[in-house]
Amino acid sequence: MNVCIVGTGYVGLVTAACFAEMGSNISCVDVNEDVVEGLKDGHVHIYEPGLETLVKRNYAEGRLDFTTSLAEGLKDARVVFITVGTPSDDQGNCDLSYVDAVAREVGQLMDSPKIVVDKSTVPVGTADRVRGIIREELDKRGVDIDFDVVSNPEFLKEGDAVNDFMKPNRVVVGTESEESAEILKELYAPFARSREKLIVMGVRSAEMTKYAANCMLATKISFINEVANICERVGANVSEVRMGIGSDVRIGYHFIYPGVGYGGSCFPKDVKALIGTAREYGYDARLIKAVDTVNDDQKVVLAQKILDYYEPQGGVAGKTLGLWGLAFKANTDDMREAPALELIRVLTSKGMKVKAYDPIAWERAAEILQGNDLVEIAKDEYEALEGTDCMAVVTDWNQFRNPDFERIKELLKAPILFDGRNLYGPKQMGEAGFAYFSIGRLPVKP
Ligand SMILES: NC(=O)c1ccc[n+]([C@@H]2O[C@H](COP(=O)([O-])OP(=O)(O)OC[C@H]3O[C@@H](n4cnc5c(N)ncnc54)[C@H](O)[C@@H]3O)[C@@H](O)[C@H]2O)c1
């Protein structure tokens, strides 16, 4: 099948590469010339395990191509995926300007029947809006070309996106048209060989499903963070509590890891967007608002522990923190809404220096943090600790899980560790001679 994918970011490029791998012919369109030229040269501009191999192979074999011209991308395409960004606007609502721009251009350029698929995460009602924009442009041209607008939200997670796309739990398709559903079923068939994965539903339900899923996951994270904060105060250990509740199949172990709050390009904006949609329809989404507030507060919990520790010694000004991890989670270079940025903002505003290391996100982080003279980016995790007063861990990269604590002690001025991911055990750290502060567990002070 000939498919056009508009927007070659985390979602668009993964979708394109995986469809191409299964034999479809994919034309990827992006407005960013550097990205398009880079992809043609085999340079994949985002970090996603396994993606580069797929992109290079399918480009070389002619099933995947890249262009800045939507006219070119649309030429032979039966299906057009919109996978551009939908960031938050100033009010926290979903900014649909990129989606609108693509819809307008599709209406201006299409010359054969199309199924236009909203894969970007978009508020309920966006398919109707996209349909209206395309219809308006066709009317302006005085032409009547058959088209449908379908919702097909994406559930992949950064860091494991190729795997998620190749083996989806489900493929949600929102459409009233049997023909559109059949065509998408055909396109997704190679990803559903073990069992039927397509769940066909109304367009609005499909749009809502994506927000409901992300808000549910965000709720689990804020819930366990709140439980962790209570645990600390009452002398309970959240890791033990997690085991105790996760063993109940109605609760499960997934997404109940306490930490420094959720970040990334999806949960924060999608939680805010659903609050905004509800407000627009006259409903006060109290629970989801609380999820958002708890998360905002959680992002400063670790920084506060550091401030509290140094307060009796005259504060953090002039002290240096060795920081492990910058990305919002492991296995990604995505720095959007990364809790590390909030930690750095709070601590450097009080005069603390930060020497930070991240295996993949360091380059993006360096660009974002440019201009903050108190921040230095280190080349590896041990260099980040050289001559620092204490250390903190905020991203759960595998290579941080079992470090050389003796070497760490030699590098730090004093063995003080603030663990925002509960990667280590309080008993283990106490025995290793560290002052150790984690989330939802009592501190260890030798
Ligand atoms: N990143 C994720 O993990 C994830 C997961 C599921 C859903 N989503 C949703 O998918 C959408 C895309 O997210 P992303 O992270 O891939 O975004 P991204 O920012 O990585 O990529 C968007 C791409 O669209 C391009 N673009 C913008 N306007 C364009 C236009 N008019 N024509 C062609 N290209 C254009 C940009 O240049 C960019 O390369 C969002 O709605 C997001 O919420 C993201």
User: What's the pLDDT score for residue 183?
Assistant: 97
What residues are paired with 80 via a beta bridge?
4, 116
* Helix residue ranges per DSSP H, 172-285: 178-188, 203-234, 238-246, 267-280
Q: Is the pLDDT score of 413 beyond 80? A: yes
- Which CATH code for domain 2-201? 3.40.50.720
- Pairwise CA distance, residues 418 & 277, whole Å: 38
- Pairwise CA distance, residues 263 & 344, whole Å: 15
- Pairwise CA distance, residues 123 & 127, whole Å: 9
Atom of ligand 1 nearest to the CA of 119: 10
- Pairwise CA distance, residues 346 & 308, whole Å: 13
For the chain, the straight-line distance linking the first and the last C-alpha, in angstroms and rounded, comes to 65
Q: Which amino acid is at 224?
A: I
Question: Which residues contact residue 173 at a Cβ distance below 8 angstroms, ignoring those fewer than 6 apart?
Answer: 150, 151, 152, 180, 181, 184, 185, 198, 199, 200, 201, 206
Per the CB < 8 A criterion, the answer to whether 12 and 66 are in contact is: no
- Any idea which architecture 211-296 has in CATH? Orthogonal Bundle (1.10)
User: What's the pLDDT score for residue 201?
Assistant: 98
* Helix residue ranges per DSSP H, 32-96: 33-40, 51-60, 70-74
Q: Is the pLDDT score of 2 beyond 90? A: yes
Per the CB < 8 A criterion, the answer to whether 340 and 394 are in contact is: yes
User: What's the pLDDT score for residue 390?
Assistant: 98
Q: How far is the CA of 82 from the centre of ligand 1 (A)?
A: 9
Whether ligand 1 lies within 6 angstroms of the CB of 366 is answered as no
Query: Length of the chain, please?
Result: 446
pLDDT band, residue 42 (cuts 50/70/90): very high
Query: Quick one: average pLDDT of 356-380?
Result: 97
Whether ligand 1 lies within 6 angstroms of the CB of 303 is answered as no
Q: How far is the CA of 269 from the centre of ligand 1 (A)?
A: 13
According to CATH, the superfamily of the domain at 299-437 is: NAD(P)-binding Rossmann-like Domain (3.40.50.720)
Mean predicted lDDT score pLDDT of the chain: 97
Q: How far is the CA of 38 from the centre of ligand 1 (A)?
A: 17
Whether ligand 1 lies within 6 angstroms of the CB of 241 is answered as no
What are all long-range contacts of 422-429, with beta carbons under 8 Å and residues at least 24 apart? 422/238, 422/239, 422/257, 422/258, 422/259, 423/393, 423/396, 425/239, 426/237
Q: Which one of 94, 215, 231, 266 is the catalytic residue?
A: 266
Whether ligand 1 lies within 6 angstroms of the CB of 159 is answered as no
Q: Exposure of 407 by Cβ count < 10 A (0-12 exposed, 13-18 middle, 19+ buried)? A: exposed
Report DSSP state, residue 325: -
Q: Is the pLDDT score of 223 beyond 90? A: yes
> 3-state class of 436 per DSSP?
strand
Strand-by-strand arrangement of the 114-118 sheet: 64-67, 25-29, 2-6, 79-82, 114-118, 147-151, 171-174, 198-201
Query: Quick one: average pLDDT of 409-424?
Result: 98
Q: Mind spelling out the 3-state secondary structure of 273-315?
A: HHHHHHHHCCCCCHHHHHHHHHHHHHCCHHHHHHHHHHHHHCC
Q: What residue's CA is closest to ligand 1, atom 28?
A: 98
One fold for both 211-296 and 299-437?
Answer: no
Question: Which residues contact residue 161 at a Cβ distance below 8 angstroms, ignoring those fewer than 6 apart?
Answer: 10, 11, 14, 48, 51
Q: Two tokens at 112?
A: 């054969």
Query: Quick one: average pLDDT of 413-439?
Result: 97
Query: Quick one: average pLDDT of 138-150?
Result: 98
Q: Is the pLDDT score of 181 beyond 90? A: yes
Q: Is the pLDDT score of 407 beyond 90? A: yes
In angstroms and rounded to an integer, the radius of gyration of the C-alpha atoms of the chain is 24
For residue range 281-335, what is the model confidence (pLDDT) as tens digits? 999 999 999 999 999 999 999 999 999 999 999 999 999 999 999 999 999 999 9
Whether ligand 1 lies within 6 angstroms of the CB of 121 is answered as yes
pLDDT band, residue 28 (cuts 50/70/90): very high
Per the CB < 8 A criterion, the answer to whether 354 and 321 are in contact is: yes
Segments making up each domain of the chain, as ranges: 2-201, 211-296, 299-437
- Pairwise CA distance, residues 236 & 228, whole Å: 9
Q: What residue's CA is closest to ligand 1, atom 36?
A: 7
Q: Is the pLDDT score of 446 beyond 80? A: no
Whether ligand 1 lies within 6 angstroms of the CB of 236 is answered as no
For residue range 226-268, what is the model confidence (pLDDT) as tens digits? 999 999 999 999 999 999 999 999 999 999 999 999 999 999 9
Query: Quick one: average pLDDT of 191-214?
Result: 96
For residue range 55-91, what is the model confidence (pLDDT) as tens digits? 999 999 999 999 999 999 999 999 999 999 999 999 9
User: What's the pLDDT score for residue 434?
Assistant: 98
Per the CB < 8 A criterion, the answer to whether 239 and 441 are in contact is: yes
Query: Quick one: average pLDDT of 151-156?
Result: 98
Q: Which amino acid is at 188?
A: Y
Question: 94 catalytic, yes or no?
Answer: no
